Every structure is written in structure tokens, then in C-alpha cells.
Amino acid sequence: PRASGNMKDVPTLFLLLSTLLLAVSVESLPPPLFPNEALPTKSGYLRVKPAPAPPCCSSMIGNFYELGPWRVVSRATELEPNPGAWNRIFGLLFLDNPIGVGFSIAASKQDIPSNQRQVAEQLYAALVEFIEQNPSFEHRPVYITGESYAGKYVPAIGYYILKEKPNGKVNLKGLAIGNGLTDPVTQLRTHAVNACYSGWINAKQREELEKAQEVSISLAKAQKWREAADTRLELLSRLGNMTGLATLYNTERTIPYRMDLVADLLNQREAKRVLGVSETMRFEECSDEVRDILWGDLMKSVKFMVEYAVERTNVMLYQGMLDLRVGLVSTEEWMKTMNWSGLGMFLSAERRVWKDGDGDLAGYVQRWGNLSHVAVSGAGHLVPTDKAVNSRDMIEAWVLGKGLFSGEDIIMGERKVPNKYIPPDFDPKKIPRLRKPNNQQKKIRFMLPVRIRCNTCGNYMSEGTKFNCREDEVINETYLGIKIHRFYIKCTNCSAEVTIKTDSKNSGYIVESGAVGVYNGLEEEEKHKVAENALESLEKRTKVSKREIEVMAALDEMKSLKSRRASVSLDSLLEALNRRKNLEEENVEEELLIKSIKFGTRTRIDEEKNDEALDEKKTKKPKRRVNCTSPIQISSVRIVSKKTAKVTRGLDSLCHNYGSDSDEEK
């Protein structure tokens, strides 16, 4: 935007955006018509000393697809106002980095950067050149931001300025990195476990990926950087095939990000004229030549640069929570290993809920000292594309130190600035509803109902495999008034199209073309036999019913037995035991009495009596007088006394066994 008022207090954001996504070719479109509001304040080239920068794509993707004031959404022939543009209160400067991508020019192959040191020197020279051409920006605070591969060169330029040019012309106040690749080896370890716990792969697939991860990590430790980068790329490709997602950068998207629209826009004649670019030049958002030169830099870490910067300036790391490639989990993993004096306090700091201006969940913020970490809800790799307004509110609150970044419990984005003029007599109810064709295809998430084999390559796809597919209704085909639906999926190996449609008659699905279903032959044969033989089916149902009756009877018997056992108390158990003992003693007494009468055991009984009397004297117990006139009576008394002693000992033992813990303590 054009400067006005006091320029010293207005921050400037230098956008160094990057992504590793590949563009998809589309049909050529007519030249776009730029509205006057979309014309750039200034555009052109900054001369820098050639120096051998990392494999990235043009920052014009960030300008026209993410956070610029105008962006392409669905057609390259139209620009639409961006409701979440970052230049609402800031100035924006987009630098095409590295040399060789976009409209930037590399005089020769040797001019393309190849390491982070050269990247930093090159970017610093460009910033100084810009400030010298525009002296009003000399004292304005500068915040450098970037995403994806810029997770390496944002720390690189920040480290270079803070360590080697602390008193230079660039008034650096902060660094912001979104979904950045900063410590590749540490981040690589998280891919398998993150995908598994998120439900995208199973335990077996996780083990396969973990083995591939270790191969890439071992190559990086051996400083075989290119080989390590190759194995990492293969691993991510396998992960994409396993999940069936349209893109790992956003798990909720049914198609990849349409960054190819930016190339189609900027290759139009009018766009080149407005930007002051020669009509003979062709815009390339991603350069294969640059990528090849910088491929060996991919697996190298710049974590130490972040550690140096966070001690001296503000640093914000933000991630879209739907990114499965360079997302939240991988960033948190390397953050925990930082060599920073405030790391312990940061990890123990409160993670606060961030809500947008409408009160809806926008994400989470955790901060301590100079470090801020933001998890953006509902966004993937390109946060400004997925959540434009929330990303703008986030960057404004961080730069200005307000909202959750100040410790105050207020909502970021509570200030709302209208981006479009709405007439007073505007009535949205008068807008005609958009009519869609009756048989329009929808993009849905689909899970394979049966195991299938591709007719093209012979690849087997298991039941339960998830796909992003197209779905529509089958024309002129119904079953009892029920519509038949057809699903279009692609083979995970050769991308051949496979069609499956619903089978309402049999409550299932039919593989229509492109593949064959692999069913369980025994189950199908059994089903046909049962369907053909009605009597056999009746017999089976009878057996099943009989078995159910037997099971129910057994359950009733078990319930009654359990209830009887539950009703038995300790008192009733003691009474039953006493009765049993008494009955046994009575039987013994009767037998002894009969023997004494029949065989004359008078002498033995007298001896037992004398022994008993002698025992009573020893224990000093008083004698009980018993008037006995006959040997039979004496024998009866002796037997009863002995019987009573036995029962008493039995009760004492039983009561001791059934005693409570409190009784034992006493």
C-alpha cells in the first residue's frame, strides 16, 4: 500500500513464501482484466550480487493465492478481493526467491544459490537495495515471514542480520514461520506415528514407513544428503498412496491446492504489462533446475539459527492442523529439542484457546518470552488460503502484541474492516438462487465395501481402503423407487478408473468396471445352497431356535443357583453345621450305649471315668456331681460331656475362620 502519515511506526512484512507443491496444467484462459485497485504500488527488479538459495517456488503464490490484497480463486481470468489480506494495516513486500523461479532471472547456472549462507547474503542484499531506493522504509520495523521450505531460509536471513549485521539498515523485529521444514531429520521421524494415530494408516503400514524413515535418517547422519532427500521423497509418496488422500498438505481437501492458477494468471500479456515484465518471459512458480541444484540442502537442519534468533527477537511458529506432511506434530517434535534458556518455561506455559470474532474456535496459542506457537484449526499447509481472515488476525495480533500474544484475554480479530462496499438498499433475499444440474457429480470420501483387483495392473485393494471419489446417480435405473448411485475411484497403483455402484436389491455394492470383486467363495456357495433348499434352511432355523432355548434354560439355572448362594448367611451356616455335628454325636452315643449293654464294658467305662476325674483335678475345675446308680448312666454322662467338648471346639474353630479383621485386631 502507499505510505501515509508517520512511516516509522508502520511495520513492513517481507514475505518469503515457498512451497514444494507441483503445479497442475490447465487449459489456456483469456487475459485477465485487472481492476485499478489491484494494480501494484511498485514492482520491478532488485539488483543483487550473484551468489550461489534452497529449492523453492515463487512468492507470487503467496501474493495471488494466499495473503495478497487480490487473489485468484477458481479462474485465472478473474481476481477477487481477499477478505484476509495481510496489508490491512501493514506494508507488504514480496520477494521472488530463490533466483530462477517466477520472474526472477539467473544469468547463469552458477548464479543460483546452493546453501543457506548464500541465501541469507542474497536476501539481505535485496532488502538493503529496496530500502536505499525507498528511504522512507529505513527505520520502519521489519518482520520476515515465510512458509514450507521458508522454514529454512527465514531463520537463515534472521540469523545473518542478527549476528553479522545487527546495526545495518534492516530494523528486524521478528520472524514468523508457517508449516516450516526447519529440522528435517527430527521432523521425518513423526510421519508414520502421526499418520497412524490420526487413523490414516494401520500398525503394519506404520512399521513399513518407520523402516523407510530410519534409512533416510541414517543416510543424513552419514552426510549423504541427496540420497537422504531421495528416500524421504519416496517415503512421502508411499504415505500418500497408503492414505488415498488428494494431498498430504490438507487432509480435508478433495483436490490439491490450485497454485497452477497463479502461473496461468501471470503468463497473461496484461499481467506482464502491469508488473513491468517482458512479454517474452514465462512465469515458472517452481523450477526443476533450481530444485536440482539445491536438492542436497533439503535434509540439513537450521534449528540452531532459530535458537540464536529466539534469544534476541520475536519468533512465531504457526501450523495448520490438517497438514500431514509438515504440520503441527513435526514442528512440536523439533521445538522440544531446542537449546534455549526459556524452553522449560515455554513447555509448561498455558495453551490458550483462540476464538475468532464470531466466537468460533480458531485455534490455540502458547507463548513464553520471545517464542509464540499457534495451531490454526481447519487449515492445512497454506494457512492463509484455508483460513484467510484468521491468518490475518493472527499476524496482526502477533506484530502489535495484542490479544493472546499480550496475555490479555481478548479475542483476536474483534476489529472488523469491510472489504467491499454494500449499498444501503441491498437485500440478499432478492438474489436468485444458483441452479445446479440435476445429475451433478459430488466429491466425497469413500471406503471400499469389498476387496477388488484392478483389471489394468492387477493391484489388489483391500476392503476398507479410503478414497477421494466422485459420486453421481445412475440415470434411468432404480430398484423399487430407490436411486442407484455410482462411485468413481482410481487404482492406488496405476490410477486407472474403477466404477462401483450400489446394489439395493442385495443390500450391497457391485464392481461395475475397471476391476473385479474378490469375494469369499465358501460363503457365497453356502448362501446359494441355503437359498435353493428351503427345507434345509428351515432345519437350520429349527436348530438355532433349539440351541437358543437350551442356552436360555442354562442361564436360568445359573441365575437360580447364584441367587440361592447369595441368600446363605453366616448364621444359617453355623446352625446347619451344629445340627450336623449333633446328629453325628447322637449316633456315636447310641452305638456306645448299645455296646456297653451287650458286652459289659463297665470296667473300661470306670477307667475312663477315673481318668476324667484325674484330668479335672489337674485343671482345678470344680467337680460336677452326678447321681449315677448304674453303669449305663455313668457311661451316658461321659459320652455327653465328650460330645459337648467336641462341638464347642468345632464352633470355636468355625467362628475363628469366619471372624472379621476387626475381631482379629481385638
Phi/psi zone of residue 5: left (φ > 0), alpha (ψ -120 to 50 degrees), beta?
A: left
Burial 87-113 (b: 16+ CB within 10 A, else e): ebebbbbbbbbbbbbbbbebeeeebbb
Q: Give the neighbor-by-neighbor strand order of the sheet with 466-479.
A: 442-447, 466-479, 482-490, 497-503, 508-513
Cα–Cα distance, 649 to 419 (Å, whole number): 99
Q: Quote the cell numbers at residue 127.
A: 532488502
Given a contact cutoff of 8 angstroms between Cβ atoms, the answer to whether 55 and 184 are in contact is no
Find cell 547456472 and name the residue: 109
Which spans in 311-427 are helix H? 328-335, 343-348, 383-386, 388-400
Pairing of strands 142-147, 91-94: unpaired
**Exposure on the CB side of residue 645, measured as CA atoms within 13 A:** 7
Amino acid letter, residue 123: L
Is position 148 annotated as part of the catalytic site? yes
DSSP letter, residue 112: S
Pairing of strands 508-513, 497-503: antiparallel
Pick from 529, 178, 143, 548: nearest CA to 314 = 143
Q: Quote the cell numbers at residue 312.
A: 534476541
Q: CA angle 200-228-22, nearest 5°?
A: 60
Instruction: Tell me how far CA of residue 213 lies from CA of 24, 186, 294, 303, 336, in angstroms.
Output: 28, 10, 21, 20, 20
| Phi, psi for 373 (deg, rounded to 5) | -130, 125
Q: Quote the cell numbers at residue 233.
A: 521423497
Cα–Cα distance, 63 to 72 (Å, whole number): 10
Is position 25 annotated as part of the catalytic site? no
**Please, which residues bridge with residue 466 across strands?**
447
Which spans in 105-224 are helix H? 116-133, 150-164, 184-188, 191-197, 203-221
Cα–Cα distance, 608 to 141 (Å, whole number): 117
Amino acid letter, residue 423: P
Q: CA angle 553-555-559, nearest 5°?
A: 115
Cα–Cα distance, 237 to 61 (Å, whole number): 23
> What SS3 state is found at 370?
coil
Is position 198 annotated as part of the catalytic site? no
Catalytic-role residue among 323, 356, 386, 393? 323
Given a contact cutoff of 8 angstroms between Cβ atoms, the answer to whether 169 and 129 are in contact is no
Catalytic-role residue among 381, 391, 393, 636? 381
DSSP letter, residue 627: -
Pairing of strands 314-320, 172-178: parallel
Any idea which residues carry the catalytic annotation? Answer: 148, 323, 381
